[in-house]
């Protein structure tokens, strides 16, 4: 058993984070090397941050959580776990009244670290708790949770976008108020001083609003590009990480069709969805302002919104099912087209062009039929919307 003062840190890493997570992975039957982790995750430095360390754990199918724990809490955590002491990650094994026992993941030797025997000490240690992932049908099911880490990682840019979007929405709220004062005080009261003030305010808004909109759109487009790039990289990495049996059991065109659907989801998430939260907040603000003007008109607006909401609750599941069938038809279309182009030599050799043409027309007809059903239902819902107006 050695002490920390006699231990030399491995030369190939700066904080032993990779060595520690790989050591844990091997103990949990997750065989992987440092080279595989750095290559798969694109790590440029082996001095890992807490987020990168959790990404490494997630890559080898381990759940992880970073906590700051006191000496008393360290006695209660489940093992195995990692602990950071003096900027270096170690494998935590035990704690006694005088020492903390860890394992050096490079040399696999047990080390000791003395501590003050004071359960009420405010000193806390950074600990990475890990556990094996137990996949259930609910976790395997694909959903928005797969996209959320990539979106939330751009939290600073999203914050700036929301602030700028809020300013633009406030400008939109101020415009009608200014024109109201223009009519009430200038046209009716014939006040030239008010005219000068309101004219200055209108000109200022006319200059400021395009500037803020330009900055918001520029940051929004840049952030959307970053999210798209990360999601595309994650998708491709996930695709390459699938077992060979997955590709043997599915046609190439079917896989390509699913990837194309993912592109549509990425476009949806990085498009108007990011502005939806701002719009929902300002809808309530606009309705509040409208209530100050006329409770009757505001009640009519709110009532119509409730009717539209109930209508979409009823019609939404029907459209969703038809859209899913349309996507399935498009996937079948893409699958057949890809397989036909891939095996064009066989088709020409066996002189079966007419048979494949008839099958293509049948598949295309099925796709167009499903697409027409979706468009018809959407037109019906829009006609009901205009009728309500």
Q: What does the block give as tokens for 319?
A: 């459209």
| 83: enclosing H helix or E strand | strand 81-85
pLDDT at 197 over 70: yes
Q: What does the block give as tokens for 28?
A: 């949990």
pLDDT at 185 over 80: no
Q: What does the block give as tokens for 347?
A: 């088709």
Domain locations in the chain as residue ranges: 2-140, 142-293, 295-389
Residue of 381 and 249 predicted with greater confidence: 249
Give 104-122 pLDDT, tens digit per residue.
Answer: 877 777 887 777 656 566 6
Give 299-331 pLDDT, tens digit per residue.
Answer: 888 888 888 888 888 887 887 787 777 777 777
CB 85 within 8 A of CB 9: no
The CATH number assigned to the domain with range 142-293 reads: 1.20.1560.10
Q: What does the block give as tokens for 328?
A: 């399935």
Among the listed ranges 35-39, 137-141, 177-181, 184-188, which one has the minimum average pLDDT value?
137-141
Selection from 103, 95, 91 nearest residue 123 by Cα? 95
**What does the mean pLDDT of the chain come to?**
74
The burial class, CB within 10 Å (0-12 / 13-18 / 19+), for 191 is middle
Selection from 315, 334, 330 nearest residue 369 by Cα? 330
Residue 298 φ then ψ, to 5°: -65, -40
CATH class, 2-140 region: alpha beta
The residues near 31 (Cβ < 8 Å, ≥ 6 apart) are 25
Pairing of strands 110-114, 99-103: antiparallel
Average pLDDT over residues 279-286: 80
**Highest-confidence segment of 65-79, 80-94, 166-180:** 166-180
Distance between CA atoms of residues 264 and 287, nearest Å? 33
**Quick one: pLDDT at residue 58?**
77
Distance between CA atoms of residues 316 and 373, nearest Å? 14
């Amino acid at each position: 058993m050695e002490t920390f003062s006699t231990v030399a840190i491995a030369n190939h890493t700066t904080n032993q984070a990779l060595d520690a997570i790989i050591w844990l992975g091997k103990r949990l039957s997750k065989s992987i090397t440092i080279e595989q982790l750095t290559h798969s995750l694109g790590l440029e430095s082996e001095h890992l941050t807490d987020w990168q360390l959790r990404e490494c754990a997630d890559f080898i199918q381990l759940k992880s959580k970073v906590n700051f724990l006191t000496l008393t809490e360290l006695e209660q955590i489940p093992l195995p776990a990692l602990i950071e002491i003096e900027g270096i990650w170690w494998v935590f094994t035990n704690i006694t009244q005088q020492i903390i026992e860890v394992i050096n993941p490079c040399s696999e030797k047990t080390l000791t670290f003395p501590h003050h025997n004071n359960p009420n000490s405010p000193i806390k240690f950074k600990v990475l708790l890990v556990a094996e992932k137990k996949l259930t049908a609910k976790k395997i099911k694909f959903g928005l949770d797969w996209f959320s880490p990539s979106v939330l990682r751009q939290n600073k840019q999203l914050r700036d976008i929301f602030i700028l979007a809020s300013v633009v929405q406030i400008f939109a709220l101020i415009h009608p108020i200014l024109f109201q004062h223009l009519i009430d005080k200038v046209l009716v009261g014939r006040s030239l001083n008010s005219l000068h003030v309101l004219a200055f305010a209108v000109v200022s808004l006319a200059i400021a609003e395009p500037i803020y909109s330009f900055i918001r759109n520029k940051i929004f487009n840049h952030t959307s590009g970053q999210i798209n790039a990360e999601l595309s990289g994650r998708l491709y990495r996930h695709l390459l990480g699938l077992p060979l049996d997955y590709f043997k059991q599915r046609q190439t065109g079917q896989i390509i069709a699913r990837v194309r659907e993912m592109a549509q989801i990425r476009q949806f998430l990085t498009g108007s969805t990011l502005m939806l939260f701002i719009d929902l907040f300002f809808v309530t603000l606009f309705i509040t302002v409208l209530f100050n003007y006329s409770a009757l008109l505001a009640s009519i607006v709110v009532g119509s919104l409730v009717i539209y909401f109930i209508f979409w609750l009823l019609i939404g599941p029907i459209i969703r099912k038809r859209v899913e069938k349309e996507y399935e038809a498009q996937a079948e279309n893409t699958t057949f087209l890809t397989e036909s182009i891939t095996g064009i030599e066989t088709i020409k050799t066996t002189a079966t062009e007419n048979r494949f043409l008839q099958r293509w027309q049948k598949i295309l007809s099925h796709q167009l039929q499903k697409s027409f059903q979706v468009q018809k239902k959407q037109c019906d819902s829009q006609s009901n919307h205009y009728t309500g107006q």
